[in-house]
Amino acid sequence: MGNERLDKIIASSGLSTRSEVKNLIKKGLVKVNGTVVTNSAIKFDCDKDDIVVDGKPLKKGKFVYIMLNKPKGVVSATNDNRDLTVVDILPDELKRKNLFPAGRLDKDTVGFCLITDDGDFAHNILAPNHHVTKTYIAELDKEIDFEKGKKAFFDGVVLNDGTVLLSADLEKQENGTIPTYKVVIKEGKYHQVKKMFLSLGATVTELKRIKIGNLSLDENLKEGEARFLTEAELSKITEKTQNIV
Ligand code: URA
């Protein structure tokens, strides 16, 4: 990988955010080849140099996990002939080989898109039988019958092709005069949330994913911005929740 700044190497391992890493380095908690280094800007080679953070050797060759606040107009793919992809718009310091989005958001959906190079992890969070929830905020073109909708989502919406969806949760949200709902689903079928509301007679006009498992989209990330997840955040994605639907 060549030489890179010490703070970048450590943050890229997903251990902590770049600013937390800078603090660790400043506090003298990072050793390289046995010597304390307090200057984040010094460059090292993560493959050759021996980096120890707070007494623990930095894991080498680890996978990366990125939270992107996806804007509208980009597609959830690695390459596309026509449109910009979620991987194209990542800043250079986050880019790696083999990155792909773990799950698809529609081109016009915004919010939490998880990008990784870890195929097993992606499979784990996407497999419907693993029940990792995805939470969305949906704005609708018209009001629905909430009680009827809640029951239909809980019972499992039946799509036009006969597919029965897994149980989902529906909650009303305050948003002025725009009918707005929070939806929690456990799978990721094509246009799933839009189809679920269509089955209640309403069209989704805006859709945002705000949470995967127990990990919420970082409110400080503006649309189009991305950052590595820390290990603590990563485990929130797969931790078991009490109120799973
Ligand atoms: N459901 C949808 O309809 N679209 C998305 O992008 C995600 C879930």
Higher pLDDT among residues 46 and 154, named by residue: 154
pLDDT for the residue 168: 98
Is 105 near ligand 1, meaning CB less than 6 Å away? yes
User: For the ranges 12-16, 31-35, 39-43, 189-193, which has the lowest average pLDDT?
Assistant: 12-16
pLDDT tens-place string over residues 188-212? 999 999 999 999 999 999 999 999 9
Q: What's the CA-to-centroid distance between 196 and ligand 1, angstroms?
A: 10
Whose C-alpha lies nearest to ligand 1, atom 7? 105
Is 76 near ligand 1, meaning CB less than 6 Å away? no
Q: Which residue among the candidates 88, 106, 118, 218 is catalytic per the annotation?
A: 106
DSSP sequence for the chain: --EEEHHHHHHHTTSS-HHHHHHHHHTT-EEETTEE---TT-EEETTTS-EEETTEEPPSS---EEEEEEPTT-BSSS--SSS-BTTTTS-GGG--TT-EESS---TT-EEEEEEES-HHHHHHHH-GGG---EEEEEEESS---HHHHHHHHHH-PBPTTSPBPPP-EEEEE-BTBS-EEEEEES---TTHHHHHHHTTT--EEEEEEEEETTEEPPTTSPTT-EEEPPHHHHHHHHS--TT--
What is the average per-residue pLDDT within 72-93?
A: 95
pLDDT for the residue 242: 47
For residue 162, is pLDDT > 80?
yes
Higher pLDDT among residues 26 and 129, named by residue: 26
Q: What's the CA-to-centroid distance between 208 and ligand 1, angstroms?
A: 8
Whose C-alpha lies nearest to ligand 1, atom 3? 191
For residue 99, is pLDDT > 90?
yes
Q: Does residue 106 carry a catalytic annotation?
A: yes
What is the average per-residue pLDDT within 41-52?
A: 89
What is the average per-residue pLDDT within 156-171?
A: 96
pLDDT for the residue 146: 97
Whose C-alpha lies nearest to ligand 1, atom 4? 191
What is the average per-residue pLDDT within 21-42?
A: 95
Q: How confident is the model at residue 96 (pLDDT cuts 50, 70, 90)?
A: confident
Task: For ligand 1, pick from 70, 74, 109 the residue to mutate: most ligand atoms within 8 Å of CB.
Answer: 109
Is 106 near ligand 1, meaning CB less than 6 Å away? yes
Q: How confident is the model at residue 1 (pLDDT cuts 50, 70, 90)?
A: low
Residue 105 Cα: closest atom of ligand 1: 6
Task: For ligand 1, pick from 70, 106, 170 the residue to mutate: most ligand atoms within 8 Å of CB.
Answer: 106
